[in-house]
Structure 1
Amino acid sequence: MRSNLKLGVDLGGTKIEIIGLDNGIQRLRRRVPTPQGDYQQTVAAIASLVEDCERELGQQGSLGVGIPGTRSSDHGRIKNANSQCLIGQDLQGDLEQRLQRPVRLANDADCFVLSEACDGAGAGAHSVFGVILGTGVGGGLVIGQQLLGGPNAITGEWGHNALPWRRDEDGPPRRCYCGQDDCIETFLSGPGWAARSALGLDASALVSAAQSGHPGAQQALARYCDQLARGLASVINLIDPYVIVLGGGLSNTPELYQQVLPLLPKYVFSDQVNTRLVKARHGDSSGVRGAAWLWNDELR
């Protein structure tokens, strides 16, 4: 079988991880700590990982990098990154200069959905919307196994739309860090859900308490599922994806798949909802795998 080595790097706040995929099969995987607050050291750490892995594998591969932010289509520098040392930097250009090859960058949520669309839970579907339910709420859209991008580089940022069909039981307004009130992220992120539940439990403890029969936690989880159904219904009404893949820590909650699907017909503008709602196949590996799949030209 012809070698088709793809290297993917997941640049996280605490770790930098690299994977080598050869025709979709993992050949190598490594991680190192992320240099804290030091951009030049971060570039050097990524480059060293790439060079070390290629030396070990005995060949050079394509390189994709998933980042906790976005590369601006206006000036090519990083914006909207929670790793602040990246903001305003030409990460793509600096890596290309250091490694002497083209590099592709994408938001980590985009990498997640690309992974799941190429060889994960959404493989074979024409359109896949990926959802991250974790410390934040992110998303991305893949059409024909290619990431859909736009002029603002924010495709899939459904978490910063307002929660639709809002009602009194959703609770009082809350300000999102983006400056708007009642973004979906303030309801469906782990910290947002915990804060709104007012039970003094974090998201993981809320799920455990609900599964153990705690009435308040069960009510909070049922409300969360209804809010998730409303948020996803607005996505389905707009882009009508064949598959929605859930990732992030909260995606491991079985009740989401049991309760959200039956709720969708209440909100989706259709007599029947045929969109599949599935859990990510590759779990925490989807981000780094998706970075490698940024070079998936043969799948076009």
Structure 2
Amino acid sequence: MNVFGVDIGGSGIKGAPVDVTAGELAEERFKVLTPHPATPDAVADGVRQVVDHFGWQGPVGVTFPGVVVGGVTRTAANVSKKWIGQDVAGLLGERLEAPVTVLNDADAAGLAEMAFGAGRGRGGTVVVLTFGTGIGSAVFIDGRLVPNTELGHLELQGHDAETRASTRVKEEEGLTWSRWAKRVGRYLAHVEMLLSPALFVIGGGVSRKAEKFLPLIEGVSAGIVPARLENNAGIVGAAMAASAAGPAVAS
């Protein structure tokens, strides 16, 4: 069964139909650049462009880079602050003329990794972290999601963690893999101190290059593995959420 998933990020908006029984994209994803400023109307236009590219008719799952409660955004990371307090499910539902389910972007990626990826079958506490424009987090306890944890905004050495250890910071500061891995290691050690997870799953686009930095991370006792769905996890998780919310209509 196919359901449509869209992943809104600080740099791009990407989406595709997803086979939610297999956890795989049913077609190659389509991406547009996130508009700047990333206001609600501008981003909604981008989401509509992605969905229209496939001629999709039916429910759509959408991720958002911030806290989402009952379809309303409570925070807005790396997008316009005009999103705060926005009924994003209603806005996008009206723009797409379809039922829309919205959830935090890292929570969506985590759902996909726990169902089909590196976290499948794992009990205890599992922390899924997505490194990109910022750092997203999804925490699972015995397979159940604790939503909207936003661990990327923990204070680390006097700074918001994602301003020190995100992939964007690595690129902007020209950090070597070794130097960046030290920062990531300090961040993971801090999260480990707070939550004592059995496993960290590292996602986001950088997960495709896991061999360049995961072996360099030190000072962490928990297991650390790359996300298997890599940067498609958010799309898959968004589609899973839409599927769980109601019957899907395949295009």
The TM-score bracket by the shorter chain reads: 0.7 to 0.9
**Structure 1 counterpart SS, 2:26:** strand
Structure 1 residue 35 displacement after superposition: 4.7
Which runs of structure 1 show a deviation greater than 6 angstroms over 4 or more consecutive aligned residues?
none
Structure 2, unaligned stretches of length 5 or more? 246-251
Distance 1:243 1:104 in 2: 28
Instruction: Identify the residue that residue 26 of structure 2 maps to in structure 1.
Output: 27
SS in 2 for 1:293: helix
Residue from 164, 174, 178 that aligns with 1:202:
174
Distance 1:192 1:66 in 2: 22
Distance 1:34 1:159, change over 3 A: closer
**TM-score, scaled to structure 2:** 0.75
Residue 160 of structure 1 contacts residue 185 of structure 1 at CA under 8 Å; is this kept in 2? yes
Which residue in the other structure is 1:83 paired with?
79
The aligned counterpart of 2:248 is none
| Structure 1 residues 53-68: aligned runs within 5 Å | 53=54, 55=56, 60=58, 62-68=59-65
1:88 CA drift (Å) = 4.1
Change (3 A) 1:80 1:144: same
Alignment-derived partner of residue 215 in structure 1: none
The structure number with the bigger radius of gyration is 1
TM-score under structure 1 length normalisation: 0.65
- Residue identity opposite 2:187 in structure 1: G
Change (3 A) 1:237 1:295: farther
Change (3 A) 1:12 1:228: closer
Q: Decide whether aligned partners of structure 1 residues 79 and 6 sit closer, same or farther in structure 2, where only a CA change above 3 A counts.
A: same
Name 2:213's counterpart in structure 1. Answer: 256
TM superposition shift of 1:123: 1.8
- Counterpart position of 1:162: 155
Q: Closer, same or farther in 2 for the Cα pair 1:278/1:103, shift >3 Å? A: same
Report the 3-state secondary structure (helix = DSSP H, G, I; strand = E; otherwise coil) of the residue aligned with 1:83.
coil
Q: Measure, in 2, the Cα distance between the counterparts of 1:115 and 1:291.
A: 8
RMSD in angstroms over aligned alpha carbons? 3.3
Distance in 1 (CA, whole Å) between partners of 2:186 and 2:35 is 39
| CA drift at 1:77 | 3.9
Q: Percent identity?
A: 30
Distance between the aligned counterparts of 1:49 and 1:160, measured in 2? 29
SS at 1:7 equivalent: strand
Deviation at 1:100, TM superposition (A): 5.2
Q: Which AA in structure 2 matches 1:290?
A: G
1:176 aligned residue: none
Q: Distance in 1 between matches of 2:155 and 2:40?
A: 34
**What letter matches 1:69 in structure 2?**
G
SS in structure 2 at match of 1:294: helix
* Structure with larger RCO (C-alpha < 8 A, sep 6+): 2
Q: Residues 165-217 of structure 1: CA distance to partner in whole angstroms, max 9, x if unpaired?
A: x6xxxxxxxxxxxxxx333334323465678xxxxx513xx23xxxxxxxxxx
Structure 2 contact 15–50 (Cα < 8 Å) conserved: yes
Q: Secondary structure at the match of 2:160?
A: coil
